[in-house]
């Protein structure tokens, strides 16, 4: 399996943490997605992460890749059946936080005169609501075992810190403490963006 990814993609990071922790043989290739015309043949959306299987088929987006990897590894404990829909909904919320922070950054990078302050505010407010919701659901994700919602939470929160602000750690100290502890899993250290 070949995983097309980038050094700072929070969506790609979820997948990268997961395959490392599952011990799956994935060949990860870092690309510049904005110039990756070749990717269109695998993923017409030209987005990362995209997983290319050994038979040439492609799997995307990050949620579908995650479900595929869990299935290949036969690790039902990473997505326990009795909590399946709550966990997947929680993951979708974390993805929405990542998306809001990513889109906010793209908006801030637009030339003066083309940026929309109201769009930036809307995206910041969405991300903030998501982080508050994460804090309110902390009792649901607390724990140490490998699970999709925990991986998504750390990737979302660290992406907020990376691209927006670290203020959430002061606002939600228990969430920050959990994030720091769970973030010590080796897969996170190996994928933490630093630029």
Distance of closest approach, residue 186 Cβ to ligand GSH, in angstroms:
22
Site string for ligand GSH, 98-137 (x = CB under 6 A): ----x-----------------------------------
Q: Assess 79 for contact with ligand GSH (CB under 6 A).
A: no
Select from 40-48, 68-76, 107-115, 121-129 the region that touches ligand GSH (CB under 6 A): 40-48
Residue with Cβ nearer ligand GSH (20 or 172): 20
| Binding range to ligand GSH, per CB under 6 A, among 56-64, 68-76, 112-120, 127-135 | 56-64
Q: Is 33 in the site for ligand GSH (CB under 6 A)?
A: yes
Q: Select from 58-66, 81-89, 115-123, 185-193 the region that touches ligand GSH (CB under 6 A).
A: 58-66
For 52, 162, 169, the CA distances from 145, given in Å and listed in that order, are 28, 25, 22
Q: Output the smallest distance, CB 181 to ligand GSH, in A.
A: 25
Q: For ligand GSH, how many residues bind (rule: CB under 6 A)?
A: 13
């Amino acid at each position: 399996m070949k995983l097309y990814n980038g050094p700072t993609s929070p969506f790609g990071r979820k997948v990268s943490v997961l395959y490392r922790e599952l011990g799956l043989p994935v060949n990860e290739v870092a690309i510049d997605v904005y110039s990756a015309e070749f990717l269109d043949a695998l993923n017409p959306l030209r987005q990362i992460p995209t997983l290319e299987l050994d038979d040439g088929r492609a799997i995307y987006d990050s949620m579908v890749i995650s479900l595929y990897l869990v299935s290949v590894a036969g690790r039902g404990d990473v997505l326990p059946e009795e909590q399946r829909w709550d966990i997947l909904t929680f993951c979708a919320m974390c993805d929405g936080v990542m998306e809001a922070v990513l889109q906010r950054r793209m908006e801030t990078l637009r030339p003066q005169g083309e940026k929309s302050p109201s769009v930036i505010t809307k995206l910041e407010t969405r991300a903030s609501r998501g982080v508050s919701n994460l804090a309110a659901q902390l009792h649901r994700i607390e724990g140490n075992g490998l699970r999709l919602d925990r991986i998504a939470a750390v990737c979302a929160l660290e992406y907020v810190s990376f691209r927006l602000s670290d203020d959430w750690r002061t606002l939600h100290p228990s969430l920050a403490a959990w994030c720091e502890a769970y973030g010590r899993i080796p897969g996170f250290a190996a994928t933490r963006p630093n630029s």
